[in-house]
Structure 1
């Protein structure tokens, strides 16, 4: 699951800012990690076939925080601005922008040569419509400070904020999970709730040609696309004639399609397959750090998890080093806190480490303090009820990780059952609160994604159903302060509080692992979004 959320600080919003070319994004990690072999002069044509584990649920930007949805939307849509591989913000559908001296009014000047895939001209009315609709979507926390959005003419948009913030420009960048991508308002109106499911209309480099649910999505090149952002050498049209995303849930099957040449790229390589694929002539495998926090989140509505000792015991009952070594084959970093240590706002590890460390003796002590005694089957019991709960998850890898967790927790007398669902069923079940706990691979770009745990995000994306006034107040402070140092300290306090309350159990920070064939050239991978917009990627014929 994507962050749905986050951002990186964007300088000081209380002073005038302009965006004629690029805007620095302080604290944003550099994004260019690995570039596929250029291989000579790029040539248009061919089909790029990409395999991944899951299918999107809804391609209406802002409606869903699933990673497959986001990755697809980067190709179908554009937004006003976008982050480059250097972490700076660049023009996209907006040519330039400026803010008022007090940082509450932002004015964007739009390109006048853009059309949607349907041929409809892109104007400011479409921007206004999307932002108004976005305010009613599950990811609307990103624009919580937006008071109004207006279009004084066809190519000018004016945003008025309730208060200054360091993060507005970042939050409306397409890089922030593609939520700010602009759809054709007429198509949205025409299809209603079916928009994003039965049809879409964007301005991006690729058009939706076919979607066979849970099997594949075919995108075809937008031949009229000439307004790509300068973050890529190629500003349009894209090189591949088609992109096919094949949904292949099984890890071994994804790798096999690379081996046989039936797919060009695997964007979710299993850690156990890295060495085998690396040994195949013509196949390149690369891994690099990913801002992520694989974690278990408790459903705080459950009576069992009202006991903080139970939550803390589970925290201390998990050996993360062992899971990283034997399940992930070293292709992850054991969590010593919740936030990735490279994220601006992560609390010092010397403060977070004691809160999450593997300490089974302490786990047993906490459970016994709360009256949980060992039963004859090795599972602890209290008031005649076993210490048992069910964890919901979606993928084969997540199941492997949590089978190891399951065995470790049994050593301290905790029975964790694992239930694997397909993505849509998982999404529905966790929003409805049917789970006792859930496991997700949280991917994010900054500490702002902690909005996943505020009260206003219940039931989605806050599927822990945790509601805590202190945490809510801290998050609001992080969004409204114009003091960068105060903002960082607030995030550190939030991470420590989240861990002290043991609402989530961090497991590890995953790495990106990609494999591609020798025909695939020119791809620069982004450390947050992987394939990103694929504008420089081409397929050797």
Structure 2
């Protein structure tokens, strides 16, 4: 099965940072007028390709929450409220969820506890290669059992896992037909959510239609309140300036605009909500035969860079230096895990480290080892805004000054997925994993390389592996210290270099919405279209 992953995932699971800032309700003292049976249109930076949240995190983040519900939800204020489950209790060893009565799938069939267990069993099997495994589904062995009469799902962990509620509780539940035959999800949805995927025009748009009778949104909210759109259209608009223009003209109601165009949208006083995000990180490919297998090379390439400068460039001057792999400062283990661990900016030291690693400079200024030139294929995401593209170009410039031959390769989300999780054909990746719980980085820094695992750069860091194994089963402050120490182990070896983080703005026009910062969409039942 082909795995799809997007570094545009924003997975705040325990807290909700970003509420709508400056909503249009009552602007100028005028009462809000909601549209009846309106259409809410938002932009996508690229076509996600596969609309299956168990195979493609890009579609989960960009559209999946419209059609699929989790067992529990989190409000913008950070409160855990009901979803498919009306009651729940959890500790480090067990969790029990009691489903709401009357929940149905989009085809009208009732959702049972057994259906939820089948979804969990599918996801926890590594053979199915879901990117949710390790992100929302613990790699710690567990069993899930159902009591359909009592409507309960019980999860029992083989060993303690400290974030049980915040992970399995947030898994989007696919209904039985979609679990049994994932090919159905290539052209339709099979969930319990407030909208149903009704049309796909590849490369152009995806249309979702309102479900009738939906009454199990966050905290039991319905989807029939005034202003709720009859349709939601996800329109593919790769160019951010074009997205901004469509937003200003009223042709779309929401767009992510993080680059230079955000200033003119702010000047027009368009409301927006913000999501904390790590925008820039360097990942060095450590698979056999790659220069990045040598820690001295990784530290040299890092020392050649001015990370403060890169942070300014990648965020277009709107962000700051990243102080860890998790951008959300309100996440439970927030701490500065970076300061003092990464090599300081020193091109001279960078050159000395490459010399020590055997990469000497020839008469032409190029570096080589045993007659083999030092070549690096540096990839970057073209969907993360103009600032990140400029930052990747700056990285290439600094490495070239060091005598490295650099090929710069821009990838859309589909090409990114192929490079990371299929071919592995790159030497370094400039990207941002927008994750908001520390355990979510584990699948990408431990285990086998694709297709045996998701460790796409082949990191082998014994100290990190030991610490995360302990952190997984340790709750509270003691667990947070272990998670933070684990991150530090990655930075000490220059396995990953976090560079920048920022508040990413989603602008609105003739619409209202709220977010808890988890995925890229606002809370579906909060979306309102204005007249």
TM value normalised by structure 2? 0.87
CA deviation after TM superposition for structure 1 residue 81, in Å? 0.7
Tell me if the contact between 1:6 and 1:171 (Cα under 8 Å) persists in the aligned partners. no
Q: Is 1:77 the counterpart of 2:68 in the alignment? A: yes
CA distance in 2, matches of 1:169, 1:540: 36
1:113 counterpart (81, 102, 114) = 102
In the alignment, which residue of structure 1 is the partner of 2:473? 480
Deviation at 1:74, TM superposition (A): 0.9
Q: Give 1:169 shift.
A: 0.6
Aligned to 1:490: 482
- 1:418-433 matches, within 5 Å, as 418-432=408-422, 433=424
The Cα shift of 1:470 comes to 2.9
The alpha carbon displacement at 1:287 in A equals 6.9
Query: What does residue range 233-252 of structure 1 map to in structure 2 within 5 Å?
Result: 236=224, 239-252=228-241
Unaligned 5+ segments in structure 2 are 1-5, 27-31
Residue 525 of structure 1 aligns to a residue whose secondary structure is: coil
CA distance, structure 2, for counterparts of residue 362 and residue 528 of structure 1: 40
Q: Does 1:360 align with 2:347?
A: yes
Equivalent of residue 170 in structure 1, options 166, 172, 196: 166
Distance 1:275 1:30 in 2: 22
Matched, 1:407 2:397: yes
Q: Find the counterpart in structure 1 of residue 142 from structure 2.
A: 147
Match of 1:387 in 2: 374
Q: Establish whether residue 188 from structure 1 lines up as the match of residue 189 from structure 2.
A: no
SS of match in other structure, 1:32: coil
Matched pairs, number: 505
Is the Cα–Cα contact under 8 Å of residues 293 and 508 in structure 1 kept in the other structure? yes
CA distance in 1, matches of 2:348, 2:16: 38
How far off its partner does 1:442 sit?
0.7
**Pairing partner for 1:463 from 456, 461, 467:** 456
Of 508, 520, 525, 1:516 maps to 508
CA distance in 1, matches of 2:232, 2:432: 25
What is the DSSP-based 3-state SS (H/G/I as helix, E as strand, rest coil) of the residue aligned with 1:196? helix
Matched-pair contact (CA < 8 Å) for 2:290–2:427: no
- For 1:339 and 1:379, how far apart are their aligned partners in 2? 37
Shift of 1:115: 1.2
| Separation in 2, partners of 1:478, 1:7 | 19
1:220 maps to what in 2?
209
Q: 1:279 matched to which residue of 2?
A: 267
1:86 aligns with 2:72: no
Secondary structure at 1:284 match in 2: coil
Q: Structure 1 residues 221 and 103 mapped into 2: Cα distance closer, same or farther (>3 Å)?
A: same
- The answer (yes or no) to whether the contact 2:16–2:516 under 8 Å persists in 1 is no
User: 1:92 & 1:287 partners in 2: Cα distance?
Assistant: 23
Paired residue secondary structure (1:449): helix
Name the structure 1 match of 2:29: none
Q: Deviation digits for residues 487-506 of structure 1, max 9, x if unmatched?
A: 11111211111011111222
Is 1:348 aligned to 2:336, yes or no?
A: yes
Q: 1:31 to 1:270 in 2, by over 3 A?
A: closer
- Distance in 2 (CA, whole Å) between partners of 1:5 and 1:146 is 25
User: Contact 1:347–1:495 (CA<8 Å) still a contact in 2?
Assistant: no
Q: For the Cα contact (< 8 Å) 2:314–2:389, is it kept in 1?
A: no
Residue matched to 1:257: 246
- Cα deviation, 1:256-303, whole Å, max 9, x if unaligned, reads 222333212112x142112223334xx516474614252121221143
Kept in 2: contact 1:291–1:527 (CA 8 A): no
Contact 2:70–2:84 (8 Å) recurs in 1:
yes
Q: Which residue of 2 aligns with 1:32?
A: 19
What whole-Å deviation, never above 9, does each CA across 1:120-168 have from its counterpart, x for those lacking one? 1111121011001011233222322352111122422221211232210
Is 2:150 the counterpart of 1:157? no
Pairing 1:14-33 to 2, within 5 Å after superposition: 28=15, 30-32=17-19
Gapped regions of structure 1 (runs ≥ 5): 9-24, 175-179
Partner of 2:356: 369
| Structure 1 SS opposite 2:471 | helix
Kindly tell me: are residues 392 and 196 of structure 1, through their superposed partners in 2, closer, same or farther at Cα, counting changes over 3 Å? Answer: farther
Distance 1:509 1:250, change over 3 A: same
Deviations 1:443-464 (A, max 9, x none): 1122112213343363253211
